[in-house]
Amino acid sequence: MAEEIEGLAAGTEHTRKCEEAKKAAQAAKARELAAQRARELELKAARRGRD
Q: Note the pLDDT tens digit of each residue in 5-51.
A: 787 788 899 999 999 999 999 999 999 999 999 999 999 999 998 76
CA distances from 50 to 8, 39, 45 (A): 63, 17, 9
Task: Please count the structural domains in the chain.
Answer: 1
Contacts of 25 (CB under 8 A, 6+ apart): none
pLDDT at 5: 77
pLDDT at 16: 94
pLDDT at 51: 64
Instruction: Tell me which residue range forms the domain holding 41.
Output: 1-51
